[in-house]
């Protein structure tokens, strides 16, 4: 399959593995790259820029295909060493960066100067247009279904993607709720040039996380995610568990007076406990509604091959067969 996204990034299949905290390590990134997609190392999972440089170098020993780095700009009182992480990306020779969170404008000149292609992840048409205006090469359009931060507009992909297609000139991938060939073909029909998947890649053999996480995703239905931190305008879609129930109870009780400090035990430091320790009730960790469509834990290679082969059958068989002669 050839789309503007495969051309832009020099990849075989229009499938991106979105940045995932404590998941986007060299094992998963290289597996996606080797299977012909775009894999992304998650910068902020590395405690320092030097650790990110080492992770990039490790990934290069595992694949000779292109891969990228996700740089998430978080609302934080003491921001991480972003200049250091950007330097590690540039000096590591990485040529693709996925930005997410805040507007990446201040980093674009230095990234572009280094010949890096930037795909910005956003949750609304207006933010996608802004990304286009400031010089991003592509965007990842994240619908309300997505695992992680869907923003505050709550527009699902059946509306958001065609709206993005109406307005954007740069290529975009559909993100949120993507699991299989049906998602890919639908996303292309709605105007996207490919798909971005998070939760689906989390439930693969190569995802370097505790087996409990993968089993929890397979066991979950589309009804098992919750939106947390909405009162703080930092909404996150997470898999429900005892920690999340406790958090939601606090949100109900404290109402508009709630602060980050009230919920820090349910949202702070949760990722290592869940992803490494398999403590499934530790608190809030991102997971998409798409969990309802995930029934197995394949290798990345098998998953990608299945998506591409089934997409071919869907387009040439089911869809073409529906056309009147
Ligand atoms: C466990 C997990 C952690 C994530 N961490 C990040 C992150 O650190 N930065 C980021 O930009 N997106 C993050 N995301 C969002 C994904 O990159 C992707 O946009 C999202 O999962 C797409 O929705 P889906 O899960 O329905 O495929 C995370 C998602 C998951 C499931």
Q: Which residues line ligand 1 (CB under 6 A)?
A: 18-21, 23, 42, 70, 72, 100, 121, 142, 145-148, 175-178, 196-200, 202, 285-288, 290
Question: Residues 6 or more apart from 260 whose CB is under 8 A from it?
Answer: 232, 267
Separation of 315 CA from ligand 1 center, angstroms?
28
Separation of 2 CA from ligand 1 center, angstroms?
25
Average pLDDT of the residues in 304-325: 95
Domain boundaries, the chain: 4-208
Architecture of domain 4-208: Alpha-Beta Barrel (3.20)
Separation of 323 CA from ligand 1 center, angstroms?
37
pLDDT band at 316 (very low <50, low <70, confident <90, very high): very high
Atom 18, ligand 1: residue with shortest CA distance: 198
Q: Which atom of ligand 1 is found nearest the CA of 201?
A: 27
pLDDT of residue 263: 96
For residue 232, pLDDT beyond 90: yes
For residue 247, pLDDT beyond 90: yes
Separation of alpha carbons 134 and 129, rounded Å: 9
For residue 325, pLDDT beyond 80: no
Separation of 100 CA from ligand 1 center, angstroms?
10
Separation of alpha carbons 37 and 300, rounded Å: 10
Atom 12, ligand 1: residue with shortest CA distance: 19
pLDDT in tens, 165-215: 999 999 999 999 999 999 999 999 999 999 999 999 999 999 999 999 999
pLDDT in tens, 280-299: 999 999 999 999 999 999 99
Q: Which atom of ligand 1 is found nearest the CA of 100?
A: 11
Average pLDDT of the residues in 95-117: 97
Residues 19, 98: contact at Cβ < 8 Å?
yes
Three-class DSSP category at 99: strand
236-239/225-228 β-pairing? antiparallel
pLDDT of residue 73: 93
Residues 302, 241: contact at Cβ < 8 Å?
no
Separation of alpha carbons 34 and 25, rounded Å: 14
Residue-by-residue DSSP string for 21-67: TTT-SHHHHHHHHHTTSB-EEEGGGSSSHHHHHHHHHHHHHH-SS--
Atom 19, ligand 1: residue with shortest CA distance: 18
Number of other CB atoms surrounding residue 120 within 10 Å: 29
Separation of 21 CA from ligand 1 center, angstroms?
8
Atom 6, ligand 1: residue with shortest CA distance: 20
pLDDT in tens, 51-86: 999 999 999 999 999 999 999 998 777 899 999 999
Separation of 237 CA from ligand 1 center, angstroms?
10
pLDDT band at 146 (very low <50, low <70, confident <90, very high): very high
Residues 33, 213: contact at Cβ < 8 Å?
no
pTM above threshold 0.95: yes
For residue 324, pLDDT beyond 90: no
pLDDT of residue 158: 98
pLDDT of residue 315: 97
Q: What tokens appear for 173 in the block?
A: 């991938």
Separation of alpha carbons 158 and 113, rounded Å: 36
pLDDT of residue 30: 98
Average pLDDT of the residues in 23-50: 98
Separation of alpha carbons 122 and 310, rounded Å: 28
pLDDT of residue 183: 98
């Amino acid at each position: 399959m050839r789309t503007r996204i495969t051309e832009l990034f020099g990849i075989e299949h229009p499938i991106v593995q979105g940045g995932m905290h404590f998941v986007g390590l060299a094992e998963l990134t290289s597996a996606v790259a080797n299977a012909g997609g775009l894999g992304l190392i998650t910068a902020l999972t590395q405690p320092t820029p030097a650790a990110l440089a080492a992770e990039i170098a490790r990934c290069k020993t595992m694949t000779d295909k292109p891969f990228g780095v996700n740089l998430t700009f978080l609302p934080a009182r003491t921001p991480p060493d972003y200049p250091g992480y950007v330097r590690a990306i540039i000096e590591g020779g990485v040529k693709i960066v996925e930005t997410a969170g805040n507007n990446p404008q201040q980093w674009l000149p230095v990234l572009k100067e280094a010949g890096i292609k930037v795909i910005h992840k956003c949750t609304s048409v207006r933010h996608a247009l802004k990304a286009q205006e400031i010089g991003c090469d592509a965007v990842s359009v994240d619908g309300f279904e997505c695992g992680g931060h869907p923003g505050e507009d709550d527009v699902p992909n059946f509306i958001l993607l065609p709206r993005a297609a109406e307005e954007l000139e740069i290529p975009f991938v559909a993100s949120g709720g993507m699991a299989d060939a049906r998602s890919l073909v639908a996303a292309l029909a709605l105007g996207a040039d490919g798909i971005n998947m998070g939760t689906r890649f989390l439930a693969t053999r190569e995802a370097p996380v505790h087996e409990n996480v993968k089993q929890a995703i397979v066991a979950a239905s589309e009804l098992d995610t919750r939106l947390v931190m909405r009162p703080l305008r930092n909404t996150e879609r997470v898999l429900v568990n005892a920690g999340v129930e406790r958090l939601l109870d606090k949100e109900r009780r404290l109402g508009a007076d709630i602060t980050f400090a009230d919920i820090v035990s349910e949202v702070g430091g949760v990722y290592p406990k869940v992803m490494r320790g398999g403590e499934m009730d530790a608190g809030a960790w991102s997971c998409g509604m798409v969990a309802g469509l995930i029934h197995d834990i394949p290798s990345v290679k098998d998953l990608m091959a299945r998506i591409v082969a089934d997409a071919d059958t869907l387009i040439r068989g089911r869809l073409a067969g529906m056309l009147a002669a």
